[in-house]
Amino acid sequence: MKVTRSTMIETEQFELGDVISFTLTTGEKVKAKAVLETPNGMLFITVDCLRNEQKMFENLGGAEKVDYEHSDLRKKLNGEIFESFPEEIKGRMVGMRVGQTNCFDMLRIPTEREIFGDNPCGKDEPVSVRRFYGMENRRERIAFQGSETGIWEWYWLQNKVEDSASLFAYVDGENNAECDDASMSIGVRPVFLLA
């Protein structure tokens, strides 16, 4: 697999800060950066959002539970978006536990603490959740709408706003923590684990 460090190298071992590049089956070009080393592999986040904006929930009125675990976005990430990843990447993906459940996802979105180091908008997360490598740098928190488009994009985070029926946290185009209704269409910046 080709990995960009300070120069392009061919390796199967990842280091924090490595950037991999690949093309989805839709033709969209994607870069992802290594942001957390885990016992199961290296966690990557896409450098920019995927080109198409998504809603957390298509129809809040029909939702039994309004949280990320039950969201339409989670289903879409692990359905059609996952299926658009190239076989070379999918073949190395490792499932990530969903909250405290026995379910595992191949793709997810980041949490507030993983991006900001704390939870300015949503629910508290366990202290074991750590800020991703590089996210203390404002430019790392900013994402564009698709690779190198130059259009700043807002993107969803998993955290639901406490005491709200439908507000979820997101990162705005200037890298600030904000929140808005789950039926709003904004960017998606997937996270995945590679062994």
Q: What is the pLDDT of residues 112-147, one digit of tens each?
A: 999 999 999 987 888 889 999 999 999 999 999 988
Q: Would you call 126 exposed, middle or buried from its count of C-beta atoms within 10 A (0-12, 13-18, 19+)?
A: exposed
Task: Check: CB of residue 147 under 8 Å from CB of residue 48.
Answer: yes
Closest CA to 121 of 163, 155, 154, 161: 161
pLDDT of residue 63: 66
Q: What is the pLDDT of residues 33-76, one digit of tens each?
A: 999 999 999 999 999 999 999 999 998 776 678 899 999 999 99
193 sits in which H/E element: strand 191-194
Radius of gyration of the chain (CA): 16
pLDDT of residue 127: 83
Rounded Cα–Cα distance for residues 22 and 140 (Å)? 19
pLDDT band at 6 (very low <50, low <70, confident <90, very high): low
Structure tokens, 171? 């990162």
pLDDT of residue 171: 97
pLDDT band at 188 (very low <50, low <70, confident <90, very high): very high
- Mean pLDDT rounded to a whole number for the chain: 92
- Sequence-ordered list of residues with C-beta below 8 angstroms from that of 77, at least 6 positions apart, any chain: 105, 107, 108, 109, 188, 190
Reduced to 3 states (helix: H, G, I; strand: E, B; else coil), residue 160 is strand
Rounded Cα–Cα distance for residues 58 and 68 (Å)? 13
CA dist 141 → 71, 94, 177 (Å): 23, 24, 10
Residue 11 has pLDDT above 80, yes or no: no
Structure tokens, 67? 């949280």
Candidate from 12-26, 27-41, 55-69, 152-166 with smallest mean pLDDT: 55-69
